[in-house]
Structure 1
């Protein structure tokens, strides 16, 4: 009995030990665990709120005051008469809320309107309004002959490139251009109607060709590269987020494989770095193929620009794109560990997505960093493959490869740093165990 009492009082911590799966959260002996739990949970939640305001503000800011800047537009007057003068003055004097119009001399385009369209395809401007040669003389001839076949839309052509930025075209370029041209056409029609009041064949004109009186001039929109593949929205914007998420899955899978197998503790630093790079690159090569085949399965046409090789270029673009975004995550997870890398993932997604929804030119200038981020360059290259827009594949691939190269440098450096710290911690633990063992030996 005495021995039992002595044992109980000599080990009071046994009285406070928690039997597995037996405690309630409010028990007294859970006080320390509760304190740690709330410290971690509340602290991490607070960090999430800070990250939300710091990072989400980037995307909100990109859409807050749009457009923060106007897009450049051209007006080219091949007519050199009444219609041309009215259109040029109307556009130049229109409020520059979305497009700033600049008159380009007709002499700059020896091939006529076709040369203007070619320059829009080459992205030298976002939109161009062309007043065709002899537009005024054709209108006057139609009045004289009461030509019932006259069509006012033949006077003006608008050249645009929807596939360059479908959101920019639909929400900024087309509404602004149409609004300005409709106002110009109405003003011209009113002035022209006053001139017609004195013509001798007015009655015949109203009977045979009333459109000449009602709408003497109008316009036609020549969408040089229409965004006519609906599935492409998934590839050029939302799919980029999926590409990044897939890359993050590979990063987590590789980390789990290293931890479960124990190779991270057994391999040398150099060997571990080689394994990480080799397996990650191989995984991205295969995953990017199946990701590309998903679009192929939904009958996306990759042959418009590069023929049969278009799909292979698309696959390589996705492969290099996954390397660009995925190796950055692979590198940062080494330094931040799995606990904090989600915060980097949040920053990585938002900074990439914020510059892909609208043309960078209309965003505040701080967003010009977007020209160098992976998402923007992948999106631009995809548009070239799918819609035959301006070919900057060399630049796009080059920027992506720079991101790959940066990660190929930082990953070994971070791995070396973390291995060195890990080895130092193991040495300290070994020394501490050795001191305890030596102390126990000396007491004996």
Structure 2
């Protein structure tokens, strides 16, 4: 049988078109499977970093310390009275809370540890030596006894003790762990103190019960809550947490936007090309300028949404809302922090993009974001020991030391520097900038090597052809 011309063409076309499962595509299928397997494994590992940092949080809550300091009848002019309120409150706390599992640690100190100065304890909370403190006032017993003996209707139970903390230091840790623990502590103390106090009143036959003000019986005692640096307003949240993810991403995408310009300079023009050293200098300087401009617009966002940048910092032992560390110059310092931070985060990304090439550079961005988020937004002393490498990451660096009986736990990072500027928290901004400049310096040293790798890869590919 003679085939027509169209049938011959169809047969030839069928010979050129093969199914996806054809043996000739076995190598391609293996290559695709390998790439997807590597990608899936990388994503699984990177995402595990984020979940892993929180996997031991409840077991490590004892790393969060709360000091208990009883000044009741310990200093003049109240030291001539036999204390009753302070010892009872301390006994309730130390009996009930140290045995509780998965809760902050209660550590008892004497007033002499602070030179009998309650303001020294507030400074310790402000300087981040401890997460919170319960201070029983020196006149606790005398004030309560005077209320029941003289019938003082102006007696305020909240004058018995203070609870001091600093929520702007780390709002998530405070709102999830510290403040609930303090609320439970206060409730337990008031519940257990009441029956004992009523027994004391009933045993004193000399008291005229009709003169005793109701608040001196129930609740009898209370706690004045002092948040030295409140975390507010809510719109400040992106500036000290999720917004820093955008800082990383913006820094990363500056590279592909600038690359076409770099390539034009690298092309030969009229038989000549730009000197390699000048091209490297151009690329670095253009990055610095790009980050300078981008960080400015990034810094404008919190300003546009009403976050203060011109308030006074205030005194460290007083309650100050939105106390800016540098007064009217706080916005400039915030901009400079974001500029250096973006450079410290962006240059390593550009180096890795040149070393890894497409599409693997996208995986680097995934790792870079997740690793900085899990070490920068969450306290590493609540994380497994594996995460100690996070102490040198751009968004986080911690230092642990012990001075006398005081356990210091001070965190240095971009997040903390932002909190210092926005809320007036304890400042280690010199160390913050020092860590970031260290990352910038190392990235600059590695930049020439990273820039040469794409050329080496291209030359190797030509040799194979």
| TM superposition score category, shorter chain reference | 0.7 to 0.9
Higher mean C-alpha deviation, range 164-173 or range 104-113: 104-113
Residue of structure 1 in register with 2:450 after alignment: 414
Structure 1 residue aligned with 2:439? 403
Partner of 2:37: 46
Q: CA deviation at 1:302?
A: 1.8
Counterpart among 331, 343, 347 of residue 323 in structure 1: 343
Q: Report 1:36-435 matches (<5 A).
A: 38-39=29-30, 41-69=32-60, 70=62, 71-79=64-72, 80=74, 81-93=83-95, 94=97, 95=99, 97-110=102-115, 112-200=117-205, 201=207, 203-205=209-211, 209-259=213-263, 261=264, 263=266, 266-303=273-310, 304-376=324-396, 377-426=413-462, 428=463
Which stretches of structure 1, 4 residues or longer, exceed 6 Å deviation after superposition? 14-18
Aligned to 2:407: none
Question: Structure 2: where are the runs of 5+ without partners?
Answer: 6-11, 75-82, 311-323, 397-412
Q: Offset at 1:137?
A: 1.4
1:412-440: CA deviations, max 9, x gaps?
A: 122234434434544x36xx7xxxxxxxx
The equivalent of 1:440 in structure 2 is: none
SS at match of 2:439: helix
How far apart are 1:275 and its partner, in Å?
2.4
Corresponding residue of 1:21: none
SS in structure 2 at match of 1:125: coil
Cα distance in structure 2, aligned partners of 1:190 and 1:141: 19
**Conservation of the 8 A alpha-carbon contact between 1:247 and 1:326:** yes
CA gap of 1:115–1:317, structure 2 versus 1, over 3 A, is same
In the TM superposition, residue 375 of structure 1 has moved relative to its aligned partner by 2.3
Q: 1:405–1:228: structure 2 CA closer, same or farther, 3 Å change rule?
A: same
Normalised by the size of structure 2, how large is the TM-score? 0.81
Give the drift of 1:329. 0.4
Q: Would you say the 8 A contact 1:16–1:29 is kept in 2?
A: no
Q: CA deviation at 1:171?
A: 0.6
Report the structure number with the largest CA radius of gyration.
Answer: 1
Can you give the 5+ residue segments of structure 1 that lack an aligned partner in the other structure?
A: 6-13, 19-26, 433-444
Distance 1:17 1:307 in 2: 78
Q: TM-score, normalised by structure 1?
A: 0.85
For residues 200 and 329 of structure 2, the distance between their equivalents in structure 1, rounded to whole angstroms, comes to: 59
| Superposition deviation, residue 405 in structure 1 | 1.0
Q: How many residues get paired?
A: 408
Deviations 1:66-112 (A, max 9, x none): 23322122111111422211222233331353321222221233462
Q: 1:313 Cα deviation (Å)? A: 0.4
**CA distance in 2 between partners of 1:63 and 1:202 (Å):** 57
> Using the alignment, how far apart are the partners of 2:388 and 2:178 within structure 1?
20
